[in-house]
Amino acid sequence: MSSAETLIAVSTLMLEAASREDWSSVAAMDGERRSLISALPSTLDAKTVHRLQSLDSQLLSMACAERTRLGERVRVGQKLDRAARQYAVAARSGISTSGAS
């Protein structure tokens, strides 16, 4: 198997892992992928280049979508955290006020 074919295989596995939202596997394979990219010959046929670009584009699209989802989860978590803190402050205020009566 040529280095380009191996790179296509690894990129395909990364894409499959990303589709399962298994980002730890994607990250683990990224080092191997980078090594394979650095070992590619200086000339590749157009079909191979197109296939590699397509896989990269798909993987990048999935990673960006996941980043967006994670960003939204963080924003929701921050809103919930603020609401919980406000509730705790209000509850403490209510306890001190009712305790003084």
Task: Give residue-wise pLDDT tens across range 13-42.
Answer: 999 999 999 999 999 999 999 999 988 888
The per-residue pLDDT for range 47-78, each reduced to its tens digit, is 999 999 999 999 999 999 999 999 999 999 99
Q: Count Cβ atoms within 10 A of the Cβ of residue 52 and give its class: 0-12 exposed, 13-18 middle, 19 or more buried.
A: middle
- Is the model's pLDDT at 92 over the cut of 90? no
Q: Report how far residue 21's alpha carbon sits from residue 65's, in angstroms, rounded to the nearest whole number.
A: 11
Tokens matching residue 97: 């006020």
Domain ranges of the chain: 3-100
**What is the CATH code for 3-100?**
1.20.58
What's phi and psi for 74, nearest 5 deg? Answer: -65, -45
Mind listing the pLDDT tens digit for each residue in 79-88? 999 999 999 9
Q: Which two tokens stand for residue 88?
A: 């705790």
